[in-house]
Amino acid sequence: MANVLANISNIIIPAIIFYIVAYGLISHTKVYEDFIKGAADGFKTVIQIMPTLIGLMIAVGVLRASGFLDFLAGTIGRLTEGINLPAEIVPLIFIKMFSSSAATGLVLDIFKKYGTDSYIGMMTSILVSCTETCFYTMSVYFMAAKVTKTRYTLAGALAATAAGVAASIVLAGWMN
């Protein structure tokens, strides 16, 4: 079964790319020119959000080097142990809400220390997949789209994050 899934995952991306190109050709669109235009627009977007990304990475680096994340893990981790949420995961939850790139660094540290197949490793994988960078997304994309009234976006994003954390606890517990 695992071999079948591995083969499907190796085929899916090229199949999607082939489908998009074939659909574009059938629709008589200029596929290559549209790709180049989209890549140029994407590059402009990357340049626009680069200062935010750099700032977030530096802030997370400072928090890690100062020991604040360890302090946060120790303090809040005592409260979360009762619901099977290890203290090592607590900083990841907070960092993930601000920056997925910074969270990746924490994920790699967790994997090196505990392994990918451990309870903490499984929970980390599920958690990173089930949660979103809500503050980053709101700041960057709402600013780009000039959205001024966010209404219930933050409350909904935090509720979705809480659901992702709960799902990671349940699924990681079920898998171990």
130, 92 Cβ separation under 8 angstroms: no
User: Residue 5 contacts by C-beta under 8 Å, 6 or more apart in sequence?
Assistant: none
The fraction of the chain above a pLDDT of 70, given in percent, is: 98
CA nearest 140: which of 54, 57, 58, 53? Answer: 53
Domain ranges of the chain: 44-175
Alpha helices in the chain (DSSP H): 2-26, 31-66, 68-80, 90-96, 100-114, 119-130, 134-144, 153-175
Q: What is the tens place of the pLDDT at every residue in 110-126?
A: 999 999 989 999 999 99
Other Cβ atoms within 10 Å of 157 Cβ, number: 19
Determine the straight-line distance between the first and last CA of the chain, rounded to whole angstroms. 19
CA nearest 72: which of 82, 83, 64? Answer: 64
Q: In terms of residues, how long is the chain? A: 176
- Under DSSP, the state recorded for 81 is G
Each residue's pLDDT tens digit in the chain (176 positions)? 667 877 887 899 899 999 999 999 999 998 889 989 999 998 888 888 788 778 777 887 888 789 888 888 888 888 888 888 898 899 899 889 888 878 888 899 999 999 998 999 999 999 999 888 888 888 777 877 778 888 888 899 999 999 999 999 998 888 77
CA nearest 89: which of 128, 116, 56? Answer: 128
pLDDT at 149: 82
